[in-house]
Amino acid sequence: MIFGMFRRSGNERVIQRLHGDIVAAVRQPSLYVDYGVDDTFEGRFELLALCATLVVRRLAALPAPASELSQELTDRVFSELDAAMRELGVGDLAVPKRLKKFASAFLGRRNAYDGALSAQSIDQLTTALARNVYGIEDVEGAARAARLARYAFACEAALGEVSLEAFLSGSASFPKPEAIE
């Protein structure tokens, strides 16, 4: 992963734009106000993991060079997490340890979300989101997680309409979270 940060690619603008689209989706105020996601570094990480998983899943379904874009996008997510931790004042010695922890969490979440989305199981996704995003098992947390799961399925449907050419020249479009009841 570390060597990917030093590699230059012809896809740099595409990756920058896709990462920007994911970050814009994560920063939608409704996700924090209406959905009840904690507006903390960890809360934003949880949404970043969800939105990045959705884009990576779509890229995995597309022909080459989509798999290359997927890896470069994942590398960008982690290089930006590294930079964000340093901006927040995390010490140079602690950043690699925390980054390793976040990488493990990201991969675990990606596997859980991917499995639930592949199975088209809103219950399975709701359970994973309740555990990961809300950290609770109560009724209120389950209701918020169920809404977030419906939003994730709406995002997957919207991204499913995006062709490789659109990814290369356009952007990843996420629906507005307020539109999900």
Distance CA 91, CA 93 (A): 5
Q: How many other C-beta atoms are found inside a 10 Å radius of the C-beta of residue 80?
A: 14
The pTM of the full predicted model, rounded to 2 decimals, is: 0.87
Residue type, 147: R
Band (pLDDT 50/70/90 cuts) for residue 140 is low
pLDDT tens per residue, range 78-101? 888 888 877 777 777 777 788 788
Cis ω for the linkage preceding 175 (within 30 of 0): no
- 163, 55 contact by CB (below 8 A): no
Question: Does the pLDDT value for residue 162 go beyond 60?
Answer: yes
Q: How many other C-beta atoms are found inside a 10 Å radius of the C-beta of residue 40?
A: 10
Give domain limits for the chain. Answer: 2-169
